[in-house]
């Protein structure tokens, strides 16, 4: 783990509300007089994918104010920096919650304020932001999120993500919004193949997003289409094993894809919900797939190219990476 901690790393798949510090959740829950038993549930170690969506509902009961959203954003970034992450591309779903005086726009502004607060105190880590469309949302709500991403593009919103309970809704609902996002120069990552829905996964692959997340439940045909697509894939080992989307670490599709030369990036998904860090994910991969230090360095360095950062930032990240890597070789 010490070697993986010392590696400069890039985080490309971290959901903000899934990465909130447990201590902060407890504190915010106490302020809102929410039953501490709920927090215990959040901290419980193992859970199915379906249970995870119940956990997110609990977390969302706690992170409702502008100040809480700013705070969790700043803290998640501080935790990334402490884990030797040089670029963190967070993602979060803008939420309209009139009962808490929150609109999708004020939500995004709170997240951006949290990023600014972090950046004022920390110069070593670059930050990116994707806005997520939740699969519970309508076509209009998805379009609203795209409009916000366009509006805040110059403030560091580089793209969109489609996430949320993979058993809900249909790809055709959000596709027009994602088409519009792509046409305006935003990058897109799609959660795909988390459950076995071959028709939808195939349509997503055909649409050619800039990146994909998970792709755990594929048949042979989808697996070869994925390989032929060369679309970079965000892989979250602990998340997939804990939620039983994959049977165990040695069985994870990372192995096959990595050895086939497919572009893959190790990510945490929800560091708090799955009690992990990016260094730990690297250590798990190193042990499960018998990778050596040089391979881990290459894996980490290549992640820079799959990020949605602008090319001058990628260049800066490569320079920072090489400088940091030289010290640990």
Give the residue numbers marked as catalytic. 194
Q: How far is the CB of 290 from ligand 5GP (least distance, A)?
A: 26
Q: How far is the CB of 132 from ligand 5GP (least distance, A)?
A: 5
Q: How many CB atoms lie within 10 A of CB 329?
A: 7
The answer to whether the Cα torsion of 246, 253, 174, 63 is positive or negative is positive
CB nearer to ligand 5GP: give 70 or 163.
163
* Alpha helices (H) along the chain: 2-6, 22-31, 36-43, 49-62, 66-82, 104-121, 139-151, 171-183, 198-207, 220-229, 237-242, 254-259, 278-288, 293-306, 311-328
Q: How far is the CB of 151 from ligand 5GP (least distance, A)?
A: 18
Torsion of CA 116, 189, 232, 74, to 10 degrees: 20
Determine contact, residues 111/16, Cβ cutoff 8 Å. yes
**50: Cα separation from own chain's centroid:** 18
Q: How far is the CB of 239 from ligand 5GP (least distance, A)?
A: 5
CB nearer to ligand 5GP: give 235 or 297.
235
Residue 40, judged by CB atoms within 10 A of its CB (0-12, 13-18, 19+), counts as exposed
**Which positions touch ligand 5GP (CB under 6 A)?**
15-18, 56, 92-93, 132, 134, 163-164, 166, 191, 194, 239, 269-270
CB nearer to ligand 5GP: give 55 or 86.
55
Residue 49, both tokens: 């994918």
CB nearer to ligand 5GP: give 57 or 311.
57
CB nearer to ligand 5GP: give 57 or 123.
57
Q: How far is the CB of 313 from ligand 5GP (least distance, A)?
A: 23
Q: Cα–Cα distances in Å, from 9 out to 217, 255, 311?
A: 27, 20, 17
């Amino acid at each position: 783990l010490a070697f993986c901690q010392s590696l400069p790393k890039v985080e490309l798949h971290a959901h903000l509300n899934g990465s909130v510090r447990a201590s902060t959740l407890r504190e915010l829950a106490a302020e809102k007089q929410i039953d501490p038993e709920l927090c215990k549930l959040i901290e419980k170690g193992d859970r199915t994918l379906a249970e995870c969506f119940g956990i997110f509902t609990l977390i969302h009961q706690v992170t409702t104010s502008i100040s809480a959203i700013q705070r969790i954003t700043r803290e998640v970034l501080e935790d990334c920096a402490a884990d030797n992450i040089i670029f963190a591309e967070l993602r979060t779903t803008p939420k309209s919650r009139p009962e808490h005086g929150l609109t999708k726009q004020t939500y995004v502004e709170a997240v951006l304020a949290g990023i600014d607060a972090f950046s004022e105190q920390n110069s070593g880590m670059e930050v990116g932001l994707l806005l997520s469309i939740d699969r519970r949302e309508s076509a209009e709500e998805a379009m609203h999120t795209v409009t916000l991403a366009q509006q805040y593009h110059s403030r560091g919103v580089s793209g969109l993500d489609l996430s949320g309970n993979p058993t809900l809704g249909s790809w055709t609902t959000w596709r027009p919004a994602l088409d519009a996002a792509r046409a305006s120069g935003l990058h897109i990552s799609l959660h795909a193949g988390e459950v076995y829905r071959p028709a939808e996964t195939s349509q997503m692959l055909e649409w050619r997003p800039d990146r994909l997340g998970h792709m755990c439940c594929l048949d042979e045909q989808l697996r070869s289409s994925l390989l032929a697509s060369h679309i970079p894939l965000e892989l979250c080992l602990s998340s997939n094993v804990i939620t039983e989307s994959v049977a165990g670490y040695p069985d994870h599709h990372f192995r096959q894809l990595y050895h086939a030369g497919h572009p893959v990036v190790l990510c945490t998904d929800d560091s708090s919900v799955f009690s992990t860090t990016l260094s730990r994910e690297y250590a798990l991969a190193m042990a499960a797939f018998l990778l050596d230090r040089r391979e881990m360095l290459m894996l980490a360095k290549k992640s820079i190219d799959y990020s949605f950062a602008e090319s001058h930032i990628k260049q800066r990240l490569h320079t920072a990476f090489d400088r940091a890597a030289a010290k640990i070789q």
